[in-house]
Structure 1
């Protein structure tokens, strides 16, 4: 049997099993939810290192390609120029625009009130939340 058909069969079987079990047992659904979230968090943990590696490799390849031709060097310099312009715009133009078009006084007061209050501590989360938090979604934030 082709792999695509096996995957399709497993998908349909999983959906039917979930529909049957989901109406019967809340404990099984909660356990499957915890295991599924832990699995997805483990998958997310791999994303940041992969993106970081691709970024480093891309910069290295761009530097090696810059040696290959003048056009590549000009493209890299133009990208750096665009980055500097956007940074300058964020640093200078945005505050100037906020001075020209000030925030509504009621909205500013509501924003200050929302940012100034500390939220009261909530209830203790259930054990399933502890299990979900065992595998972080972001390796950098976890470090």
Structure 2
């Protein structure tokens, strides 16, 4: 049985046990859920602890490999530019199609009223910071603090700049750093496999 099948079977089994226990003895099920919750939380934290090192290592090695391929041939460079252009076009098309579908198939009066009521009971969002504050927050003064505080966008921006800086280093240093981050990524994948096995 493959790992994906084992995980799927375990998920279905756990859901079935939870639903069955809640139907048969709801009070005892809540007590057991309180006992089991720390284990589930620990498991989830074990998966989450791999996210930052894995994202950083994959981003650095991906940019390094793309730059290396672009150096080797103009075809890779053209493919990268084509990919970016297609990504922008598909994003614009997705937004336009969504707006067109909403115009073509508007919400019924009862659904619109229900949505208004649901949103009307939500607490106020507070003051929206200006766009300049968003731009300033993009550039982290401390990338480690960004990673610690789960501020992924500034961390990814720093990692991208760092990865492009690596592509400008001499070959020996570039290969050493790329190999280091590739090893980190591979180690994180091993940890993820262990956690999923558990």
Query: Which interval holds the TM-score relative to the shorter structure?
Result: 0.5 to 0.7
Identify the residue that residue 120 of structure 2 maps to in structure 1. 116
State yes or no: 1:66 paired with 2:66: no
Describe the shift of the 1:64–1:29 C-alpha distance in structure 2 as closer, same or farther (beyond 3 A): same
Distance apart, 1:61 and its partner CA? 1.5
Describe the shift of the 1:106–1:50 C-alpha distance in structure 2 as closer, same or farther (beyond 3 A): same
Q: Deviations over 1:12-59 (max 9, x none)?
A: xxxxxxxxxxxxxx9887445414422431332222431243023212
Structure having the higher Rg? 1
Describe the shift of the 1:27–1:54 C-alpha distance in structure 2 as closer, same or farther (beyond 3 A): same
Identify the residue that residue 106 of structure 2 maps to in structure 1. 102
Large movers: runs of 4+ above 3 Å: 26-33
Q: Which has the higher helix share?
A: 2
Q: How far apart in 2 are the matches of 1:49 and 1:41?
A: 14
- How well do the aligned residues superpose, as a CA RMSD in angstroms? 3.1
TM-score normalised by structure 1 residue count: 0.54
Q: Which runs of 5+ in 1 are unaligned?
A: 1-25, 120-137
TM-score normalised by structure 2 residue count: 0.41
Identify the residue that residue 140 of structure 1 maps to in structure 2. 150
- Number of equivalenced pairs: 99
Q: Deviations over 1:79-120 (max 9, x none)?
A: 11111112212333321332122222221221121122137x
Describe the shift of the 1:105–1:74 C-alpha distance in structure 2 as closer, same or farther (beyond 3 A): same
